Amino acid sequence: MAFVAVLVGIVLSWLMRLHLGWTNLAIPGLHLLSANGAPGNVMTPEFYLQLMTMHATIMVFFVLTTAPFAAFGNYFLPIQVGAEDMPFPRFNMMSFWITFSGFLVLLSSFFVGDGPTLGGWTQYAPLSAIGTAGGPGEGTGVVLWAVSITLFCIGQLLGSLNFITTTLDMRTRGMSLMRMPLSVWAWFITSVMGLTAFAVLMPACILLILDHVAGTSFFVPSNLVVNDQLLPHSGGSTLLWQHLFWFFGHPEVYIAIVPGMGIVSHVLIPNMRRPLLSHRVMIYSMVSLAVLSYMVYGHHMFVSGMNPISSIAFSFPTLVITIPATIIVLIWLGSLYGSRLRINTASLFALGFISMFISGGVSGFFLAQPSIDILLHGTYFVVGHFHMVMGVAAMFGIFAGTYFWFPKMYGRMMNETIGKVHFWITFAGTYAIFMPFHYLGLAGVVRRYQAFAPDYMQRFTPVHQAITIAALTTGAAQLLFVYNVIHSRFWGKPAPLNPWEATSLEWSTPSSPPPFDNFGGKLPVVYHDPYQYGIEGSTGDYVMQTSPEQIHTKSDEV
């Protein structure tokens, strides 16, 4: 599902990029997507915003949350802790189908009334709560959006429930918490975040729906006049939605990125043939990221008009949260330093993840200062920042996971040559797209504008055109990945059971793909830490978690 969603998301971003580069370009077939958003196949400003909203919603919710967390997590978390299955398989199925129906509801808004909502993925009230007075798509479109996200929340809550219970209760013999692979830790931390974050977004969406269909005034203030209409609502709080939304919204970006961190660590370690500098510090850093992520949400609201003192209060933890993030990066770099890294597509994408995370993270330092953020908040600087650190980095995590686990999932290897070409085009393309965003932002180019034709930003149009070309190229390169997945699925080289010579439990299953109960009727017993590579005194350079071989290492004595 995430696969379809990401393709839809990419196409939407193409449409927007084309429009930004060539404002009056007619895109054939565009009118099919919108009843009156594209007269003569030329995008109207409103339709641009509708596309932007849908791109963001699909990408953030239905790709970055589902793919690295729900998809890989559901497949590999039970295997990696040595369980036959999740404890509540029925909830799991419900979780998938509810999420899927949420996606369908969201897509259906393209074909209803004036089309989807144009309020952005943050859907700021009051403008999102006033119905059609707010513009096309603000009536039915918003309601469909809110229904879709409510469904999504329910799906994720059920999923998180399963993840947490599996991790706590279904571990096999010998699998202590510290013997869980980092990917399991990442999914576990993510599901704890998801449980608390989506439980807040869901009531917010319900209140938003009520403001629409039941005439309540949770979010709409008194005497609000929009488009010369006095609205019947009264007394609502204009900031309430932002508080509820960002209390969810900031943990959400960590929900997107932490599974990536876990996957990247899990992919890098077997390729480095050595464990990370510290398993524990890595885990503690991810936990503190999760805890801090609830205390920083106000940094999205520096320009909302809230009390400046709260800006400072939110700025401080925002800077503090860079400490665990930096520790994580330093652990990766320190572990990589001097290791003889096996270069394959999975490890390349893992390196790409680290690169994106650093590049995108550094711009976060600037945005964490309220005074600088006020200048940059409405510009492409922010767009570049979050696309790199959250969007593309998480995508690289997904790619790394796919190339790494594909042999386990389908019993066949993916094509390395195509994979490497795919990596290099994607890596270069990503920088070509998102680095210029930072410069555009510093130069004052405003985000969420559909065109810059008559004003001072017009001279940047060539930059936008260049970005558009890069985006089209990079997007097209993803076809290589699609081809590689489909081709390798059916005609790829048969994979050995443990192609990466890795130690964790998913490589000890009796077949690839694993049998229905994961281990063929016998649960494994775990004797070792998850990443035993390059151990002196052992028979090889790695020791499987299930190997009863006695080895004497410091970490075992502890």
- 214 near other proteins, rule: CB under 8 A: yes
The binder of other proteins chosen from 60, 67, 147, 157 (CB under 8 A): 157
Based on CB atoms, which residue is closest to other proteins, 5 or 523? Answer: 523
The binder of other proteins chosen from 244, 269, 336, 495 (CB under 8 A): 244
The binder of other proteins chosen from 73, 352, 524, 530 (CB under 8 A): 524
- 135 near other proteins, rule: CB under 8 A: no
513 prior amide bond cis, ω within 30: yes
Based on CB atoms, which residue is closest to other proteins, 50 or 160? Answer: 160
Tokens standing for residue 353 = 């993840």
Residues 329-368 that bind other proteins (CB under 8 A): 342
Least gap, CB of 534 to other proteins (angstroms): 7
Query: CB atoms < 10 A from the CB of 169, how many?
Result: 10
Cβ(50)–Cβ(118) below 8 Å: yes
Expressed in percent and rounded to 5, the helix, strand and coil fractions of the chain are 65, 5, 30
Least gap, CB of 238 to other proteins (angstroms): 9
With contacts defined by CB under 8 A, name the span among 169-177, 255-263, 343-351, 414-422 that binds other proteins: 169-177
Place of tokens 């290897």: 413
Measured distance CA(47)–CA(52) in Å, rounded: 8
Residues 255-284 that bind other proteins (CB under 8 A): 273
- 126 near other proteins, rule: CB under 8 A: no
The binder of other proteins chosen from 36, 41, 227, 234 (CB under 8 A): 234
Measured distance CA(163)–CA(147) in Å, rounded: 24
Q: How many CA atoms lie within 13 A of 427 on its CB side?
A: 20
- 215 near other proteins, rule: CB under 8 A: yes
Least gap, CB of 196 to other proteins (angstroms): 5
Q: Look up residue 226 and give its DSSP letter.
A: E
Least gap, CB of 189 to other proteins (angstroms): 14
The binder of other proteins chosen from 52, 207, 263, 290 (CB under 8 A): 207
Cβ(82)–Cβ(172) below 8 Å: yes
Q: What are phi and psi of 183, to 5 degrees?
A: -65, -40
- 125 near other proteins, rule: CB under 8 A: no
With contacts defined by CB under 8 A, name the span among 116-124, 153-161, 313-321, 389-397 that binds other proteins: 153-161
126 prior amide bond cis, ω within 30: yes
Please tell me whether residue 308 adopts helix, strand or coil conformation.
Answer: helix
- 200 near other proteins, rule: CB under 8 A: yes
With contacts defined by CB under 8 A, name the span among 54-62, 105-113, 454-462, 521-529 that binds other proteins: 521-529
Tokens standing for residue 317 = 């933890």
Tokens standing for residue 475 = 């997007």
Based on CB atoms, which residue is closest to other proteins, 14 or 247? Answer: 247
* 512 to 411, 519, 523: CA distances (angstroms): 5, 11, 16
Tokens standing for residue 37 = 């958003």
- 508 near other proteins, rule: CB under 8 A: yes
The binder of other proteins chosen from 45, 501, 551, 555 (CB under 8 A): 501
Cβ(502)–Cβ(540) below 8 Å: no
- 554 near other proteins, rule: CB under 8 A: no
Question: Which of 92, 116, 54, 230 lies closest to 170, judged by CA?
Answer: 92
Place of tokens 């994607």: 426
Q: Which helix (H) or strand (E) holds 306?
A: none
Q: Look up residue 169 and give its DSSP letter.
A: H
Q: Look up residue 505 and give its DSSP letter.
A: G
Measured distance CA(247)–CA(201) in Å, rounded: 8
The binder of other proteins chosen from 61, 75, 187, 218 (CB under 8 A): 218
Residues 84-123 that bind other proteins (CB under 8 A): 87-88
Total number of residues binding other proteins (CB under 8 A)?
A: 59
Based on CB atoms, which residue is closest to other proteins, 24 or 550? Answer: 550
- 534 near other proteins, rule: CB under 8 A: yes
Binding site for other proteins (CB under 8 A): 87-88, 157, 160-162, 164-166, 168-170, 173, 195-196, 198-200, 202-204, 206-207, 210, 214-218, 222, 234-237, 239-240, 243-244, 247, 273, 342, 498, 501, 508, 519, 522-525, 534, 539-542, 544, 546-549
